[in-house]
Structure 1
Amino acid sequence: MLSMDNRGDLTSGQNAAALVMLAFLQADCRTSEYGKELLSLGKDLNLTRDINFNGLEKDSVEDEDLETDGHLPSRFTAALDDIQPSVELQWPRNRAEAANLQQIVEGLREIADQLEHVVVAQATQNLSRNLTKSPSDQWKDHLTQEVRRAMRQGVGLEHLPQERVMMALTLTLVKGVCEQAPRLLRNLFHTALQYINPARAR
């Protein structure tokens, strides 16, 4: 089992683990429904803050008085139609700790990019199928089983620390399942957090 305590470079336990996981899952978000679920989860965990125009509402931007010439550029008004909430992860105030966490996320993403696509695709499909057939209290077992099966098949990354490979694989599976079924994100996120950081998970 993966434990953040054994990683040495994380200092703030569960919040650090959740922040690393959320940052990993937000990277290269491809679907709006998945993005909305991530946004909601981040807010609920108090790990994000809204940075969208400093609270400026679309209606106030559409006010003709905002421009000196009496109109808004068409490219600006068109862009406003598609705008989604913009959030920023709340990294620790300690710059060194924040840099360490960001470096961990980047390292996990690099590992995830190197994982053999066939192994990950098959494991994601298996996990997704098993989750839809099982109550959420069995999800941790299914996640554990798929991570172990993929690691046994060999992901070609034996030269890297295996705890990091397992963590990257776990988060890659969570992301793959939740991009297909965003409604599973919240429960699967907490399941993965318990799997990755069992000593501190609630």
Structure 2
Amino acid sequence: MGQVESHLKRIHLQRPPRLKSEEMRRKMLDEARFFRGWLQKPLQIGAVSPSSRTLGRRMSSFVPMEKVAEGGYVLELGPGTGVVTACLIERGIPEDQLVLIEYSREFCVLLRARFPKAHIIEGDAYNPGKALDEVVKGKGLAAVVSSLPLFTRPERQRETLVDMALTRLESGLPFIQFSYAFTQPVKPERIGASLFTRSWIKRNLPPARVLVYRR
């Protein structure tokens, strides 16, 4: 009997807790949403699955927390299902200092449910209009974090996006982007910026690296 009880106890300890089970279920649902979105609009979604938390944490590590402490907003472009968003909050960025611009209406509904205090703008990150100005007002931005599939757009549009973002940021503050490609989505010399890159994150699907533009 002692051996049976010991075996049952070992099985119980090895069984994943309910929380992990729920997280796994949510992850599977997110991957299904992402894949469905990619099938419908591959040039807008740009990937078949959400970013990994490892990639999200790497990206969030470049956000200058001293600027966040001063009240600066963090602008996230193309948050999708919110993997990187959750990592930004985990880093210590208040949810109400996050501004998310997402094109997909389905993802916007999901983001509003998951991050009710964040400012969520349904629209085109390449042309945010006055909606962004109304949110940030006089406080400005601490960083821009982008998960946009830049290579689905022409080179000129990519350059304009990063250039406009850096113009909104104070000198030295980062535009943080990830990429699956070996080549640079925007050549820094073409927009008068500097570029810092990190090593590849192999645990992401597909492998990705983080690029940080500054001016």
Q: TM-score range by the shorter chain?
A: under 0.3
Higher relative contact order (CA 8 A, sep 6+): 1
- Larger strand fraction of residues: 2
TM-score by length of 1: 0.25
- Length-normalised TM-score, structure 2: 0.24
Report which of the two has the higher share of helix.
1
